[in-house]
Amino acid sequence: MDFLETVKQRRSVRRYTSQVPDETLVNTILECARLAPSAVNLQPCHYHVGRSEDMRRKVQQSYDREWFATAPLYIVVCADTSVAWTRREDGRSHAAVDAAIAAEHICLAATALGLGTCWVCNFKPAVLSDALHLPPHVEPIAIIPVGYADADATRPQQRKPIGEMVTVW
């Protein structure tokens, strides 16, 4: 799909069919995550793919929503805060920034492949970290459910007008 068309077509999908995406599609999505840029190219991200019944259930326990449970698989984007770049000037870690870029690569790649996704950050971090056996320095940043949309995903994107978002000096 043309890149601009992909950006326009991406929507948060909050209901999925039971069809499990082919492994080759998932691998293509993960490759797009791997190619995401990161500060100082430190590559602090790790991707946990939850596709077994057991892991799906555990991920669902961290975000208990009916629609979320319909997803056939989840990609949990994690960032190693001991690896990520920290700006010396103010001590700001860029772990979440790197993870956010990778997560959006995942969402856009999935859209281009005809799959739906949704960013999920409102999960219980302790429950998710426990399920994935994450050490304290590795943070789960986003869960991306991936699957085929089970509803009309063509609703308009509600966004502020460009003039409210851009200042040209």
92 to 111: interface string for ligand FMN, x by CB under 6 A: --------------------
Q: Is 35 in the site for ligand FMN (CB under 6 A)?
A: no
Q: Is 118 in the site for ligand FMN (CB under 6 A)?
A: yes
Q: Which of 6, 9, 12, 43 binds ligand FMN (CB under 6 A)?
A: 12
CB of 23 to ligand FMN, least distance (A): 26
Distance from C-alpha of 104 to C-alpha of 144, rounded to nearest angstrom: 9
Which residue type, as a one-letter code, is found at position 43? Answer: Q
Q: Is 120 in the site for ligand FMN (CB under 6 A)?
A: yes
Q: Which of 119, 127, 150, 151 binds ligand FMN (CB under 6 A)?
A: 119
Stretch that binds ligand FMN, among 42-50, 51-59, 113-121, 130-138 (CB under 6 A): 113-121
The number of residues that bind ligand FMN (CB under 6 A) is 8
Instruction: Report DSSP state, residue 21.
Output: P
Q: Is 122 exposed, middle or buried (0-12, 13-18, 19+ CB in 10 A)?
A: exposed
Long-range contact pairs involving 122-130 (C-beta distance under 8 Å, separation at least 24): 122/63, 123/62, 123/63, 124/61, 124/62, 124/63, 125/62, 127/61, 127/62, 128/59, 128/62, 128/76
Give the E-state strand segments of 84-136 in sequence order.
116-117
Taking the least distance from each CB to ligand FMN, the nearer of 27 and 37 is 37
Q: In the complex, which residues of this chain contact ligand FMN (CB under 6 A)?
A: 11-12, 118-122, 157
